[in-house]
Structure 1
Amino acid sequence: MYRRSFSLGLVASLAACGSREFDSPRNLDDACALLRERPHYGRAMRRTERRWNIPVHVQMAIIHQESRFDGDIRPPFRYALGVIPMGRQSSAIGYSQALDGTWEEYQDAEGRPRARRTDIDDATDFMGWYMNLTLERNGVALDDTRRQYLAYHEGHTGYARGSYNSKPWLLDVATRVEQRAERYRMQLTSC
């Protein structure tokens, strides 16, 4: 009995040590505190900045809006008649909230079939790839947080059609994302 309990405890301890950080960091309003708590987030975002030229503060603001830095977040379920589960509202998952089709396009384009949306390194690299496509297809500067967010939310075609103009709530969200990015930018200069 002792041996079995010991083995079970050892396996549980090892699993805990290897667990991933899916919960949001404690302080989402302070970029420096967030990066101190999760230094690997900063490394991932700096790699993306070097590879794709997406400023860290822009990445942080969009990840904050999309997932609140929760790596395992998923959209809520839809229910028929209020009780029958009909599946999730979308296929979005992870830090970047990338949809299945867009994620698969990224995996194919970048030759990364094992990339996961729940991995901060992969999620930030995806964002860099996607925002560079936004620059290429829609002419949105990489440091234009508001317009990049609108294109990220609506997709390249939706952004080109101006679909966001009929969504006042989305325009408000994009303004808040832009304000958060500026706050993060200022904070990051003092870390």
Structure 2
Amino acid sequence: MNKHLLTLLSALLLLGGCSSTPTYSPEQPPAHTQKNICALTAHDRIFYDAAKRAERKWGTPAHILLAFVHKESRFLHDAESSSGAYGYAQAKDATWDEYRKATGHWDASREDIYDALDFIGWYNYLSHKRLGISRWDAYNLYLAYHEGRGGFARKSYERRSWVKDLAKKVANQAWRYRQQMKRCGL
């Protein structure tokens, strides 16, 4: 009897360990890992896994999604800006509410990496559908993300060279992430 009870308790402990809820808002990765997807993934694979999930759902490649997070928040879950943008994706309240309404994901959190990357994927999907931007075009996707789709359509970025510089940085980081992913087998 004791042997069976011990076996049952051991099995329950093992199952309990396997079913634990993952941490969706991991600690900010060290700065030296943030520009290298292989190092970032070695620090915590959750960033890559969340990006791949959003890629499968919305079509924007993981390396572009992660480049957005790198630029917007440096992988800090509670990053804030003076403009009222918040979280990994630096989403503003109104745009975040639009996302939650459109997707029915009312409990989505800007501090949850899965939700933040889903948001970026969703936003890029709409930019692709409404503006014809390729889901592989990190530069123009970021311009639409930063300026809003209306601002992108009006080419508001043309008067703001610093915004184009930001988009170049995102595109370059996305390219680096893609090359790194090939090297480390992601």
TM-score by length of 1: 0.81
Q: Which amino acid aligns with 1:122?
A: D
Aligned to 2:86: 93
Match of 2:167 in 1: 174
State the match for 1:32 in structure 2.
38
Q: Say if 2:24 and 2:46, in contact at 8 Å, map to a contact too.
A: no
Determine if contact 2:157/2:164 at 8 Å carries over to the other structure: yes
State the match for 1:147 in structure 2: 140
Aligned amino acid, residue 176 of structure 1: K
Equivalent residue number for residue 98 of structure 2: 105
Aligned to 1:135: 128
Give, as a single letter, the amino acid of the residue that structure 1 aligns with 2:28: D
Partner of 1:56: 62
Identify which of 160, 183, 186 aligns with 2:176: 183
Runs of 4+ in 1 over 2 A off after TM superposition: 18-26
Alpha-carbon distance in structure 2 between the residues aligned to 1:184 and 1:46 = 13
Conserved 8 A contact 1:25-1:38 = no
Residue 29 of structure 1: how far off its partner (Å): 1.5
The SS at the match of 1:92 is coil
Provide structure 1 residue ranges, at least 5 long, that are not aligned to the other structure: 1-17, 76-88
SS of residue in 2 equivalent to 1:189? helix
> Would the aligned equivalents of 1:67 and 1:95 in 2 still touch at CA under 8 Å?
yes
Give the Cα–Cα distance (whole angstroms) in 1 for the partners of residues 108 and 122 of structure 2. 13
Displacement of 1:112: 0.7
CA deviation map 1:145-179 (0-9, x unaligned): 00000000000000000000000111111111111
Task: Supply the distance in 1 between the matched residues of 2:122 and 2:139 (Cα, whole angstroms).
Answer: 17
How many Å apart are 1:91 and its aligned residue?
Answer: 1.9
Residue 37 and residue 90 in structure 1: after superposition, are their counterparts in 2 closer, same or farther (change >3 A)?
Answer: same
* Deviation of 1:59 (Å): 0.6
Identity of aligned residues (%): 42
* Other-structure match for 1:10: none
CA contact (8 A) 1:22 1:72 kept: no
- Larger proportion of strand: 1
Supply the distance in 2 between the matched residues of 1:42 and 1:163 (Cα, whole angstroms).
32
What is the identity, as a one-letter code, of the residue corresponding to 1:149? Y
User: Any idea what the Cα deviations from partners look like across 1:10-50, whole Å, max 9, x if unmatched?
Assistant: xxxxxxxx794242444112111101111111111111111
Shift of 1:66: 0.5
Note the residue ranges of structure 2 that are not aligned, 5 or more in a row: 1-22
- In 2: Cα distance, 1:121 partner to 1:164 partner: 29
- What is the RMSD of the two structures over their aligned residues, measured on CA atoms? 1.4
In the other structure, the counterpart of 1:23 is 28
